[in-house]
Homo-oligomer: A and B are copies of this chain.
C-alpha cells in the first residue's frame, strides 16, 4: 500500500460554515461533493474535533463557500488553523447571511444546505445536505487543493482527511528530495519563499496564509 496515491484525488478548497446559536462559525474543508442532482444534495466531511461539526449537528444547517484562485489565501489559515471554540472567526472577514447561515463573499459562490442525513466514521462525520440556496459570486476559477499546495504552498491541518504527517509526506515525495533551511510558520506550515531575506522583513509582517505574526516563524529544514 503506497499512501501517496491518495494525494492524486482532486478536491476544491471550501469554507464550511454554520451558526453556533446566534454566532457565525466555520472551518476550512476540502472534502465536499455533490451526491444527487434532483433534488441537489451535497456531502461534506468534518472532523469530530472541529467545533463546526458540533454546531452543524445542533443547527441542522451548513453552507459551503467555494474559494476561488483569487480568494485571499489568508481565509484558509484563518478558518483552518484556529478553533471556533476560542475565536469569533467571522469578526474579521467579509460575509453575508444567506438563508440563516454565514457565507464568505470573497469566493466563487456559496451553497446552503439543510442536513438530511449523516454517516459517522472513526474521526469524521459525513453530513448529507439538501441544497436550499446558492449563487455564483465571482467568475474566477475555483481554487483546487492542488493549486493550494503547489501555487500557494499551503499545508493541511491535522484534522483534514488528507493530512499526511511531515515525515511520511517527505518520504513519499514523487521525485528525489533536496532540503534547505527555510522560515516556516509554526501555526499553518507556510514556507516563506520571498526575495527579501526573512530577517529583513518589517516587524509587522504576518503569515500570508494564517495571519500569525512574524515571531511565529521558525527556521527549519524543509524538503523541497
Taking beta carbons and an 8 Å cutoff, which residues of A are in contact with B?
A: 1-6, 8-12, 30-43, 45, 64, 66, 108-111, 117-119, 121-124, 126, 128, 131-136, 139, 141-142, 144-146, 160-164, 174
Chain B min CB distance to A105 (Å): 14
CB contacts (< 8 Å) of A145 on chain B: these are 10
Which one of A34, A64, A121 has the greatest number of beta carbons of chain B within 10 Å?
A: A34
User: Do A9 and B31 touch across chains, with their CB atoms under 8 A apart?
Assistant: no
Chain B min CB distance to A164 (Å): 7
Copies of the chain in the assembly: 2
User: Do A37 and B160 touch across chains, with their CB atoms under 8 A apart?
Assistant: yes
User: Do A5 and B134 touch across chains, with their CB atoms under 8 A apart?
Assistant: yes
Interface pairs (30), CB distance under 8 Å: A1-B135, A2-B109, A3-B134, A5-B134, A5-B136, A6-B34, A6-B131, A6-B134, A8-B109, A9-B33, A9-B34, A9-B42, A9-B64, A9-B66, A9-B142, A11-B33, A31-B35, A33-B45, A33-B161, A34-B162, A36-B122, A36-B123, A37-B160, A37-B161, A37-B162, A37-B164, A39-B122, A43-B43, A43-B45, A117-B119
CB contacts (< 8 Å) of A135 on chain B: these are 1-2, 5
Q: How distant is the Cα of A39 from the Cα of B161 in the complex, in angstroms?
A: 10
Q: How distant is the Cα of A126 from the Cα of B45 in the complex, in angstroms?
A: 12
CB contacts (< 8 Å) of A142 on chain B: these are 8-10, 146
Chain B min CB distance to A119 (Å): 4
Q: How distant is the Cα of A9 from the Cα of B220 in the complex, in angstroms?
A: 35
CB contacts (< 8 Å) of A37 on chain B: these are 123, 160-164
CB contacts (< 8 Å) of A134 on chain B: these are 1-3, 5-6
